[in-house]
């Protein structure tokens, strides 16, 4: 933490926001999600606890006056997240005033704690990342970790083993189940997530950032291409193709299409060719996979999960009738009432119309902030901004296929990427302001020079005679 006067740049000092956020993404992605501190239950997930540390760190930084003029901008993503938090708090208060069954109070309080943890990640990313170098360093680490988790998922698919049994022997920690789900004869990879759907959403949601890192050689312009930066993206695509999941396949298509705008035509062709090659490799190397994936879509009408999602829409007015504006209360709609498998519908039920609109605003504001930032920043930061916008769009689509905010990895990564978008927007507006100030100074200098020239007496034509 800073002990002296505020610096000229926004962001918590000390260990550094990049380092603190690196710890968070390591706990979020590398540590199994069903590993918790013994006796704390859902409150004991290391990533959630570290998010609360980040929130406290950010609050202390603000109290110490660490907000210089350059960091006081109010961006769209900041406002959207603030509105979502306000709706969550009002919905919580409204739910308790109406009265709740005893078994719904603890989940509601847990939901508030998760919200505070998400806010800590978002705020430190938004205000703590000082410049584009910070953003690039953090995104590189995020891409590498995503590649490692995707590689673990690929190994799980091939061996039908989780490779997570080592977590059972950690002192003071409680470890959940160690099983691999299956669909037909194929194992459904789970990585370090709690469910295959969450794992697929995480890998595919971060794919645009991995593609940008591969296309930009790790965001290092002017250097020889390194094959290593293609591995995370390639493994993520393969995992999505063998995930035996409709949502992962749909997310994969969205991620690739969303990554193409802003690319050079040659890069688009390379991406399209590599995508076709990946499909061909999976079809040849995994007999029966192509038929299984095609059946997932052609037989969707007869699938129980699809019928359940369709039936859920007809039940929404019934569940929403008690409180259309603020909903039943965040975290209070338990599976015993209904399982929607759709975060958008669940948000509408739990937080009402106001909450669904606020969540949509978080996605829209984050994506729009990144798009605007990409027009003003240097090439490496602009590539990150475009990829972040593509990740936000991909996550928005994937949130329609499972209760994403109820899973630690899919929720935590949303607020991290939203924080990246907000940080890039802040940097772009600061850069624009600096450019405008420079232009004003140049014009002022020209104006002063003209005035000085006019004040000089005209030369005497006879003075040289």
Calculate mean pLDDT across residues 236-260. 92
Residue 444 has pLDDT above 80, yes or no: no
Residues 6+ apart with CB under 8 A from 433: none
Q: pLDDT, tens digit, for every residue of 15-29?
A: 589 999 999 999 999
Lowest-pLDDT range of 8-12, 192-196, 208-212, 313-317 = 8-12
Calculate mean pLDDT across residues 199-222. 89
Residue 242 has pLDDT above 80, yes or no: yes
Q: pLDDT, tens digit, for every residue of 316-368?
A: 888 888 889 999 989 888 877 888 888 999 999 999 999 999 999 999 999 99
Calculate mean pLDDT across residues 254-261. 93
- The residue ranking higher by pLDDT, 366 or 39, is 366
**Cα 420 to Cα 440: distance, rounded to the nearest angstrom:** 30
Calculate mean pLDDT across residues 189-194. 91
The three-state (H, E, C) secondary structure of the chain, written as one string: CCCCCCCCCCCCCCCCHHHHHHHHHHHHHCCCCCEEECCCHHHHCHHHHHHHHHHHHHHHHHHCCCCCHHHCCCCHHHHHHHHHHHHHHHHHHHHHHHCCCHHHHHHHHHHHHHHHHHHHHHHHHHHHCCCHHHHHHHHHHHHHHHHHHHHHHHHHHHHCCCCCHHHHHCCCEEECCCCCEEECCEEECCCCCCCHHHHHHHHHHCHHHHHHHHHCCCCCCCCCCCHHHHHHHHHHHHHHHCCCCHHHHHHHHHHHHHHCCCCCHHHHHHHHHHHHHHHHHHHHHCCCHHHHHHHHHHCHHHCHHHHHHHHHHHHHHHHHCCCCCCCCCCCCCCCCCCCCCCHHHHHHHHHHHHHHHHHHHHHHHHHHHHHHHHCCCCHHHHHHHHHHHHHHHHHHHHCCCCCHHHCHHHHHHHHHHHHHHHHHHHHHHHHHHHHHHHHHHHHHHHHHHHHHHHHCCCCCCCCCC
**Cα 152 to Cα 407: distance, rounded to the nearest angstrom:** 19
- CA–centroid distance for 336 within its chain: 29
Calculate mean pLDDT across residues 286-295. 86
Calculate mean pLDDT across residues 230-247. 92
β-sheet bridge partners, residue 177: none
In the chain, % of residues over pLDDT 90: 50
Lowest-pLDDT range of 157-161, 219-223, 432-436 = 432-436
Does residue 50 contact residue 210 with C-beta atoms inside 8 Å? no
Angle, in degrees to the nearest 10, between helices 230-241 and 265-285: 50
pLDDT at residue 140, as a whole number = 95
Does residue 76 contact residue 369 with C-beta atoms inside 8 Å? yes
Residue 255 has pLDDT above 90, yes or no: yes
Does residue 31 contact residue 409 with C-beta atoms inside 8 Å? no
pLDDT at residue 458, as a whole number = 54
Residues 6+ apart with CB under 8 A from 352: 87, 91, 320, 323, 324, 325, 326, 327
**Cα 418 to Cα 402: distance, rounded to the nearest angstrom:** 20
Residue 427's closest CA among 11, 4, 3, 2?
A: 11
pLDDT at residue 22, as a whole number = 96
Calculate mean pLDDT across residues 214-239. 82
pLDDT band with cut points at 50, 70 and 90 for residue 450 = low
How many CB atoms within 10 Å of residue 286? 17
Q: pLDDT, tens digit, for every residue of 370-428?
A: 999 999 999 889 999 999 999 999 999 999 999 999 999 999 999 999 999 999 999 99
Q: pLDDT, tens digit, for every residue of 312-325?
A: 778 888 888 888 99
Residue 460 has pLDDT above 70, yes or no: no
**pTM assigned to the model:** 0.87
Does residue 83 contact residue 17 with C-beta atoms inside 8 Å? no
Calculate mean pLDDT across residues 210-228. 79
Q: What is the mean pLDDT of the chain?
A: 85
In the chain, % of residues over pLDDT 70: 86
Lowest-pLDDT range of 86-95, 193-202, 331-340, 430-439 = 430-439
Could you tell me the CA-to-CA distances from 124 to 61, 66, 159, 418 in Å, in that order?
10, 12, 39, 11
> HSE on the CB side for 154, CA within 13 Å?
20
Residue 181 has pLDDT above 70, yes or no: yes
Could you tell me the CA-to-CA distances from 437 to 10, 114, 297, 374, 440 in Å, in that order?
19, 42, 56, 21, 5
pLDDT at residue 153, as a whole number = 94
Q: pLDDT, tens digit, for every residue of 107-162?
A: 899 999 999 999 999 999 999 998 889 999 999 999 999 999 999 999 999 998 98
Calculate mean pLDDT across residues 279-287. 88
**Cα 379 to Cα 385: distance, rounded to the nearest angstrom:** 10
Residue 441 has pLDDT above 50, yes or no: no
Residue 437 has pLDDT above 50, yes or no: no
Spell out the domain ranges in the chain: 17-64+84-430
């Amino acid at each position: 933490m800073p002990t002296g006067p505020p610096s000229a740049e926004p962001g918590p000092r000390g260990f550094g926001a990049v380092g603190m956020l690196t710890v968070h993404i390591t706990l979020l992605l590398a540590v199994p999600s069903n590993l918790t501190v013994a006796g704390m239950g859902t409150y004991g997930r290391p990533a959630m606890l570290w998010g609360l540390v980040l929130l406290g760190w950010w609050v202390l930084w603000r109290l110490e006056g660490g907000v210089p003029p350059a960091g006081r901008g109010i961006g769209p993503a900041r406002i959207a997240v603030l509105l979502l938090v306000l709706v969550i708090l009002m919905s919580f208060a409204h739910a308790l005033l109406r009265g709740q069954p005893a078994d719904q109070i603890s989940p509601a309080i847990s939901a508030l704690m998760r919200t505070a943890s998400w806010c800590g990640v978002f705020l430190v990313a938004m205000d703590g990342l000082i410049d584009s170098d910070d953003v690039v360093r953090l995104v590189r680490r995020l891409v590498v970790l995503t590649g490692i988790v995707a590689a673990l998922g690929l190994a799980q698919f091939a061996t039908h083993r989780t490779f997570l049994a080592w977590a059972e022997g950690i002192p003071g920690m409680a470890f959940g189940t160690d099983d691999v789900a299956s669909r037909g004869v194929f194992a459904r990879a789970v990585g370090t997530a709690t469910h295959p759907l969450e794992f697929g959403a995480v890998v595919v949601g971060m794919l645009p950032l991995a593609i940008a890192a591969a296309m930009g050689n790790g965001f290092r312009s002017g250097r020889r291409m390194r094959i290593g930066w293609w591995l995370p993206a390639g493994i993520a695509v393969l995992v999505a193709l063998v995930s035996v999941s409709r949502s992962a396949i749909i997310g994969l298509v969205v991620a690739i299409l969303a990554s193409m705008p802003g690319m050079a035509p040659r890069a688009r062709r390379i991406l399209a060719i590599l995508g076709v090659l990946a499909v061909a490799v999976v079809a040849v190397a995994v007999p029966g996979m192509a038929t299984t994936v095609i059946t997932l879509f052609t037989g969707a009408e007869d699938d129980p999960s699809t019928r359940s999602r369709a039936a859920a829409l007809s039940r929404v007015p019934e569940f929403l009738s008690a409180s259309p504006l603020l909903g039943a209360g965040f975290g209070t709609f338990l599976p015993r009432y209904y399982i929607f498998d759709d975060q958008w519908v669940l948000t509408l039920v739990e937080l009402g119309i106001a909450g669904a609109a606020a969540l949509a605003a978080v996605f829209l504001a984050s994506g729009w902030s990144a798009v605007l930032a990409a027009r003003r920043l240097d090439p490496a930061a602009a590539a990150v901004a475009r990829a972040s916008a593509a990740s936000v769009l991909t996550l928005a689509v994937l949130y329609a296929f499972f209760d994403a905010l109820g899973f630690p990895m899919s929720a935590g990564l949303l607020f991290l990427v939203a924080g990246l978008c907000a940080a890039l927007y802040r940097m772009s507006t600061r850069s624009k302001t600096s450019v405008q100030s420079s232009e004003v100074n140049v014009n002022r200098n020209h104006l002063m020079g003209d005035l000085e020239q006019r004040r000089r007496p005209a030369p005497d034509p006879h003075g040289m005679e």
